[in-house]
């Protein structure tokens, strides 16, 4: 299990590989959002960092390496969400929702979805 933080740039690479894996570095570079303007060399650097952190594994296919995530997007989101809650809100969800509500960052649709989720959790 990896414990090191994944940077925003590394996360962009992980998103590509969560959508489709295994991929070679050149294929990851082609799929990363074009506005980033990353070269294959930049992507290879990010892939190396992610390998070192244990977020990826690679296998040889001929003269190239194919990369694949070691953790699922769901596991990553769960881990990062828990870290955020622990760090900012004492591990509690209610203060987070209150914070968002106080700043008018919850739309009517958000509130409707939260109400439906709470109703489902109660039943």
In the chain, where the domains are located? 8-69, 73-122
| Residue 1: predicted pLDDT | 57
The predicted model scores a pTM of 0.80
User: 73-122 sits in which CATH class?
Assistant: mainly alpha
Percent of the chain scored above 70 by pLDDT? 98
| Residue 52: predicted pLDDT | 96
- Tens of pLDDT, residues 85-97: 999 999 999 999 8
Report how far apart, in Å, the C-alpha atoms of 57 and of each of 15, 97, 100, 118, 123 are: 15, 37, 37, 38, 41
Could you check whether 8-69 and 73-122 share the same CATH topology? no
Q: Share the mean pLDDT of the chain.
A: 93
CATH placement of domain 8-69: 1.10.10.10
Burial call 45-61: b when 16+ CB within 10 Å, e when fewer: bbbebbeebebbebeee
């Amino acid at each position: 299990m990896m414990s090191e933080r994944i940077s925003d740039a590394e996360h962009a690479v992980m998103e590509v590989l969560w959508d489709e894996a295994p991929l070679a570095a050149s294929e990851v570079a082609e799929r990363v959002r074009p506005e980033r303007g990353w070269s294959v060399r930049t992507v290879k650097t990010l892939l190396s960092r992610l390998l070192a952190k244990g977020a990826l594994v690679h296998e040889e296919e001929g003269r190239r390496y194919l990369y694949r995530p070691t953790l699922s997007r769901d596991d990553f989101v769960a881990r990062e969400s828990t870290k955020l809650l622990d760090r900012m809100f004492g591990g509690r969800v209610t203060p987070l929702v209150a914070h968002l509500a106080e700043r008018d960052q919850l739309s009517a649709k958000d509130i409707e979805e939260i109400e439906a989720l709470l109703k489902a959790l109660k039943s």
